[in-house]
Structure 1
Amino acid sequence: MSWETSDRRARLPRDWPVRRQRVLRAASYRCQIKAHGIPCGEPAAEVDHIERGDDHSYENLQAICRWHHARKTAAEAAAARKPRPTQRREPERHPGLA
């Protein structure tokens, strides 16, 4: 989903710039995503919601690098999509194999 067609920005709290800066500062501008229990640690300039939705509490926000943010967002979008129906028919049993 692109920002042009999204209402996400309008749903952010008025103090979002302040919250964003506090989260980034608290994380020392380092990515908080953990891989095998170890934080990524790459430079972070983005703030992400840990759990999807409109919970903008500090407990639900984390500093995240661009690479991890793109992958997390893509995974969440893929999980939210409805599976496409398959076009394949079930194979018919051979009439001679009754």
Structure 2
Amino acid sequence: MAWENSRPSHVPTAVRDACLARDNHRCTVTQRNGTRCPETANLEAAHIDQWVWGETTTVAMVVTKCHWHHNRETQAQAAAARGPRQSYLRAEERHPGLLHE
């Protein structure tokens, strides 16, 4: 099976529904200005900490986030896991006109 070794971090429907009810069907992210994100559509139950293989997801382990905030967090975690871009590690090339100085 193609997905045999993947990490299914699916949140069970009952846990998702309880999480949404607990968080009043609203994104829980606090924005820079100190207010809570007003989004009440496109909501997802997001794991607070990274999901561990074999772990049973409970309501205490998830929070409600809008798709935008959840995606932003996921992308930041993926970028951190990848490490610095290779182009930053390469020596800067000098301009051809300055090679003989």
TM-score bracket for the superposition, by shorter chain length = 0.5 to 0.7
CA-atom RMSD, angstroms?
Answer: 2.7
* Inter-CA distance 72–7: structure 2 relative to 1 (3 Å threshold): same
SS of alignment partner, residue 84 of structure 2: coil
1:51 CA drift (Å):
1.6
Q: Does 1:43 align with 2:43?
A: no
| 2:69 aligned residue | 68
- Structural mapping, 1:18-97, within 5 Å: 18-36=14-32, 37-44=34-41, 45-54=43-52, 56-85=57-86, 86-88=89-91
Which whole-Å deviations, capped at 9, do the CAs of 1:13-68 have from their partners, x for residues lacking one?
Answer: 7xx11101110111121100111332212115211012223363322210110111
What residue ranges of structure 2 are gaps of 5+ in the alignment? Answer: 95-101
Q: Secondary structure at the match of 1:34?
A: coil
Identity across aligned pairs (percent)?
Answer: 31
* Structure 1 runs (4+) greater than 3 angstroms displaced: none
Length-normalised TM-score, structure 1: 0.68
Give 5+ residue unaligned stretches, structure 1: 92-98
Change (3 A) 1:65 1:12: closer
Q: 1:26 to 1:12 in 2, by over 3 A?
A: same
